Amino acid sequence: MEVERVQNIATLSIHSNTIPIDFIRPETEQPALTTFHGDDIPDIPTIDLSNPDQQNLVKLISEASQEWGMFQVVNHGIPSELISELQSVGKEFFLLPQEEKEKCAKVPGSQSYEGYGTKLQKEVNGKKGWVDHLFHRIWPPSQINHKFWPLNPPSYRETNEEYTKYMRVVADKLFTLLSLGLGVEGNVMKEAFGGEEVEYMLKINYYPPCPRPDLALGLTPHTDLSSLTILLPNEVPGLQVLKDERWIDAKYIPNALIVHIGDQIQIASNGRYKSVLHRTTVDKERTRMSWPVFLEPPAECEVGPLPQLVTQDNPPKYKVKKFKDYAYCKLNGLPQ
């Protein structure tokens, strides 16, 4: 049976003012009714990663991770030409004919979520998100399956490999700063998540224009399963974060990366750093795209509160779990 891709549904509904009922959220979730538009909208913190004052940098990142669980970083060292290139090869893939894209399709029934697809998690109410995606690992080389990397455009591979080199430097720096912010040695967090075996899973989200952006969502509220997520957005806003019970838009800053604290860091920090609840809205005329890189521990890696942080006064708040078991429970809606 032909799989329905949101991109095709969007093309069919382009001249209409309606969307299929499966995409209409209940009122309690509709973005038009639940987005906060006050005068005093606080901004997600923006942090300059080139700040030479490391102590200050540690403080800013640690505060943002405790209060928001999300921050934007600028001056991260990834050249802007490379960012444009990455975005253009990703966009070219989604503009290929459907049968070309399907060559990278997810393997039905497979445990892995790598590949081109439409839906990650079953929603209890049967509703759908207005988004398609492509997932593939970009690091370490032993875990890469090129079957899921587009062959078209031809420069896709080289551009993604180049981006990966820079992404690893940014990730290492963030892990170090986040460790120091907890008062432990700089290498502790990366080691806790698998050291050199940390897996980098790239996702491209493709949110086509939607005739009723007031009623639909791209991704429903969730926290990321990863340790850390480092996301590159395009210029179309849509990412929202829940702060003090209000849904707030992340503003678009050209070339900035948006860092999310994921579940594994919340666990390792014994709840100090917050795994942030976020969702995405869609746009009436424009295609939104984003490139999150999920930093995941290897399947067998056991993650629990760092022993350095656990004391009699600060008992462990979470159980130690293998990453694969945690992921299985979360993706199947079981208690973690």
Of 254, 207, 202, 253, the residue nearest 231 (C-alpha)? 202
Residues 6+ apart with CB under 8 A from 153: 89, 92, 93
Q: Which of residues 241-300 bind ligand OGA (CB under 6 A)?
A: 278, 280, 290, 292
C-alpha gyration radius of the chain: 19
Q: How far is Cα 325 from Cα 262, in angstroms, rounded to an integer? A: 16
| CB-nearer residue toward ligand OGA: 59 or 246 | 246
Q: Where are the alpha helices (DSSP H) in the chain?
A: 6-12, 31-34, 54-67, 80-94, 98-102, 156-181, 188-192, 263-268, 323-331
Which position among 114, 132, 199, 224 is part of the footprint of Ni ion (CB under 5 A)?
A: 224
Residues paired with 72 in a beta bridge:
46, 258
Residue 129 touching ligand OGA (CB under 6 A): no
Residue 114 touching ligand OGA (CB under 6 A): no
Residue 239 touching ligand OGA (CB under 6 A): yes
Stretch that binds ligand OGA, among 68-76, 86-94, 107-115, 231-239 (CB under 6 A): 231-239
Catalytic residue among 103, 222, 317, 324: 222
Q: How far is Cα 159 from Cα 171, in angstroms, rounded to an integer? A: 18
Residue 219 touching ligand OGA (CB under 6 A): yes
Say which amino acid occupies 259. Answer: V
- Burial letters for 108-137: b for 16+ Cβ neighbours within 10 Å, e otherwise? eeeeebbbbbbeeeeeeeebbbbbbbbbbb
The answer to whether the CB of 87 falls within 8 A of the CB of 289 is yes
| CB-nearer residue toward Ni ion: 24 or 228 | 228
Question: Annotated catalytic, 43?
Answer: no
Least distance in Å: CB of 99 to ligand OGA? 25
Question: Annotated catalytic, 278?
Answer: yes
| CB-nearer residue toward ligand OGA: 167 or 219 | 219
Stretch that binds Ni ion, among 47-55, 65-73, 223-231, 321-329 (CB under 5 A): 223-231
| CB-nearer residue toward Ni ion: 135 or 156 | 135
Cα atoms in the 13 Å half-sphere on the side-chain side of 11: 8
Question: Annotated catalytic, 59?
Answer: no
Which position among 29, 132, 199, 224 is part of the footprint of ligand OGA (CB under 6 A)?
A: 224
Question: Annotated catalytic, 214?
Answer: no
Which residues are at the interface with ligand OGA (CB under 6 A)?
A: 203, 205, 219, 224, 231, 233, 239, 278, 280, 290, 292
> Which residues are catalytic, by number?
203, 222, 224, 278
Which residues are at the interface with Ni ion (CB under 5 A)?
A: 224
